[in-house]
Amino acid sequence: MDIFSFLHNIEWLQAVLLISGLILLFAEVFIPGFGVAGITGIIVFIIGILLTAETLFEALIMFLLLLLILAIVLVFVIRSATKGRLSRKLILRSEVGKVEGFTAVEDMNVFLGREGVALSVLRPAGIGLFDGVRLDIVTDGTFLEEGTKIKIIAVEGRRIIVSEIK
């Protein structure tokens, strides 16, 4: 018994169904949607296998062979999308930063060194008032009562660290 005997049974209709099923499965990878292309590709693919295979064993061999082809092509596509020519079109490499005038968060360094008062109990996070501006603040690990006089000692992005004024 020849494992690849199904190759002799493939006619133009089965070939069109199998190739269009593969094309639809590849299209599912690149076309955003709800899986319509992928589900249709699987259905067309299964119909092509059922029309071509004479036994269940042949159908299984065809399915595994075509799945292997799909996996190999998918590996090449994913490799190209991450490291190859396709990645240059899919991945944005440029950045914008402070030099160009863009920042991801508001610059809170203007408050560095200012003194204020704790509006809530700081355990260690809470709210403080500095020159009429309410800010989310955190202590360096100590617990402070509401109304305690505090000073901003460090700013890390949006995180404002305070300590008690003795």
| Structure tokens, 131 | 């020159």
In the block, residue with structure tokens 């704790």: 118
Q: Which residues pair with 137 in a beta bridge?
A: 126
Q: pLDDT per residue over 96-148, tens digit each?
A: 666 766 666 677 888 999 999 999 999 999 999 999 999 999 998 889 999 99
| Cα–Cα distances in angstroms (integers) from residue 49 to residues 7, 8, 53, 69, 165, in the given order | 11, 13, 6, 15, 79
CA dist., res. 20 & res. 155, Å (int): 58
pTM of the model: 0.43
Mean pLDDT lowest for which of 59-63, 77-81, 116-120, 159-163?
77-81
